[in-house]
Amino acid sequence: MKPHPDWELMETLLTHVRTYQQLANKHGIADIFQDNGGKLLQVVLLLGLKVLPGREGNDAVDENGKEYELKSVNTDLTKSFSTHHHINPIIIDKYRKVDWVFAVYCGIELQAIYRVASKDLEVFYKTWETKWNESGGKDINNPKIPLTFVVERGELLYGQPPTPRTVAGPLQEVDEE
């Protein structure tokens, strides 16, 4: 096998990617290609947050010690935010204690950042608790929070509100008869 003609370009670009990873390492992000690490770095630097170590606690903390849960969405792929693969009362209790920061991306371009107070997410917490209890204590796999909810209820911290088409998806053709 021989390298693709774009291999040399890839090698050139990797120099910059390695610099990006060094910056991420400085801020506690071990891999910019895992768990939205590159996007996480952009958000924490823009908002002046510090990444919290480990995977069990909240994601970041501000200069006053207030912690946050961070989520991102790529509107080219989906119109809702992922939460956690094992939602249960312990995770819900953790979520209730912090505000959430939602970053909205179109591909790799940051469009907007919203903060949603934990109390405004209570509708989700209650729904998840009910579902968990009704299932006999079975963890819920990654329930979603719609982008429309975040845009309607959140405080815009950065950027511009996404367009209705970005939030709701492509416009649908309507057959007129």
Residue from 69, 129, 134, 139 carrying the catalytic annotation: 69
Residue 7 has pLDDT above 70, yes or no: yes
Catalytic annotation present for 69? yes
Structure tokens at 10: 């890839």
Give the DSSP H or E segment for 41: helix 37-47
Which has the higher per-residue pLDDT, 176 or 169?
Answer: 169
As a whole number, mean pLDDT of residues 111-138 equals: 95
Average pLDDT over the chain, rounded to whole? 90
Residue from 103, 121, 120 nearest 112 by CA: 103
Q: Three-class SS of residue 1? A: coil
Residue from 2, 31, 56, 59 carrying the catalytic annotation: 59
Catalytic annotation present for 59? yes
pLDDT value, residue 36:
87
Residue 116 has pLDDT above 60, yes or no: yes
| DSSP single-letter state for residue 162 | P
Residue from 67, 71, 129, 177 carrying the catalytic annotation: 71
pLDDT value, residue 170:
52
